[in-house]
Amino acid sequence: MFRQGRLLFSMIVKPNFKNSTNFRSSTAKQLDGLEIKIPVPWGHIAGKWWGPTNIRPILAIHGWQDNCGTFNTLLPLITQDVGFLAIDLPGHGYSSHIPDGFYYHITNYVILVQRLVDYFKWPQVSLLGHSLGAWTAFLYTIINPQNVDLLICLDGLKPFTDDEILSTNSKRISKFLEYEKLKKENTEPRAYTMEEIKQKICGSFGGSVAYKHSNHLVERNVAPSKCQPGKYYFTRDPRLKATELINWRQKDLVPGARGVRCPVFLGKAIDDHYYSKDEKYIQEVVDALKLSGNCELHTLEGTHHFHLNNPEVLAGLIKKFLEQHDRSDRRVGGIKKEIIHTL
């Protein structure tokens, strides 16, 4: 049954989370997650494994130009019975950049999900995504509905629809080539003070990230400048700024959503960055997902990064969702010793 709720925060108690990348042994209640590196043809995918490591985890995928640190405050609240593998997408965080000459396209992220499924030999995959990560999770689900046992999308669902697709793609390709040229010409990107770095992160998406939580995204996002001591530069691939090429059509996404049969959890921010931009087309997809009978939508107080800034109520809702719907066998697909990494 489709449920829509509007949840308001009153008194929010901030959990006492540490912010360290030091290696920690695997336990069910890790505060900092276990650092991992997974081999891929162009290098490696980095990330953090939260919670139990002897069973198949839920794969968590972050948003555009973020990294897996975006889940640092949420995942420790919901790892009692199930683990989470939060990855840095290619070009983000500690993961390898894609080779020169190639575009960062969401299709490559969807393919990456299948690479991870194959690498761990997961019989099925559970997906949690924020923003671009939610797009990725949704697209993988409609392409391989039989492979997905549950889907959690946070302030994101389908790629945006653009009526000016040809001119938009033309502009983005030109922009990509400009950033590619700049990357080749510059030995080191522009450097900033740490305060400037935090302000830039907090200013993205209309001021979505709370300043007190900006350190979770900074940690995997910058490196000390060799040219300007005391300053830092962003290590994410500048080619990411070109943003996504538009090629997913609404007439394909809606029928795809009708074919989803796994339980679906949708979280929408009241201070909306995503849904209001494409409201009509997103609602068509939501209505299609309702046909599964196991789709619920929750409207939550906060900004686009509500999962980072205000994780407590969201964590409770996700835990309840998992208690109701996480029925798959997770005995196959735990962590592999060779991916455990010491920073």
Contact yes or no for 83/89 (Cβ under 8 A): no
Structure tokens of 302?
A: 């906060």
Q: In 3D, which of 62, 58, 75, 78 has the Cα closest to residue 126? A: 58
Structure tokens of 19?
A: 């912010």
Q: In 3D, which of 55, 115, 116 has the Cα closest to residue 82? A: 55
Q: For position 7, what pLDDT does the model report?
A: 31
Q: In 3D, which of 144, 168, 155, 224 has the Cα closest to residue 191? A: 224
Q: Is 25 a catalytic residue?
A: no
Structure tokens of 114?
A: 């299948």
Q: Which of 95, 131, 208, 292 is catalytic?
A: 131
Contact yes or no for 177/31 (Cβ under 8 A): no
Question: Whole-angstrom Cα distance, residue 265 to residue 12?
Answer: 23
Residue ranges and CATH numbers for the domains of the chain are 3-165+245-339 (3.40.50.1820)
Q: For position 31, what pLDDT does the model report?
A: 52
Q: What does each of the 343 residues of the chain score in pLDDT, given as a tens digit?
A: 333 333 322 222 233 323 333 323 333 334 579 999 999 999 999 999 999 999 999 999 999 999 999 999 999 999 888 999 999 999 999 999 999 889 899 999 999 999 999 999 999 999 999 999 999 999 999 999 999 999 999 999 999 887 777 788 888 888 888 878 877 777 788 999 999 999 999 998 889 999 999 999 999 999 999 999 999 999 999 999 888 777 788 999 999 999 999 999 999 999 877 887 788 999 999 999 998 789 999 999 999 999 999 999 999 999 999 999 999 999 999 999 999 998 7
Q: For position 18, what pLDDT does the model report?
A: 30
User: SS3 for the chain, per residue?
Assistant: CCEEEEECCCCCCCCCCCCCCCCCCCCCCCCCCEEEEEEECCEEEEEEEECCCCCCCEEEECCCCCCHHHHCCCHHHCCCCCCEEEECCCCCCCCCCCCCCCCCCHHHHHHHHHHHHHHHCCCCEEEEEECHHHHHHHHHHHHCHHHEEEEEEECCCCCCCCCCHHHHHHHHHHHHHHHHHHHHHCCCCCCECHHHHHHHHHHHHHHCCCHHHCHHHHCCCEEECCCCCCCEEECCCHHHHHCCCCCCCHHHHHHHHHCCCCCEEEEEECCCCCHHHHHHHHHHHHHHHHCCCCEEEEEECCCCCHHHHCHHHHHHHHHHHHHHHCCCCCCCCCCCHHHECCC
With b for 16 or more beta-carbon neighbours within 10 A and e for fewer, the 198-226 pattern comes to beebbebbeebbeeebbebbbbbbbeebe
43-50 and 84-87 beta bridge pairing = antiparallel
Burial of residue 11 (CB within 10 Å: 0-12, 13-18, 19+) is exposed
All residues at 6 or more sequence positions from 240 whose CB lies less than 8 Å from its CB, including other chains: 64, 65, 91, 92, 104
The pTM (predicted TM-score) of the whole model is 0.88
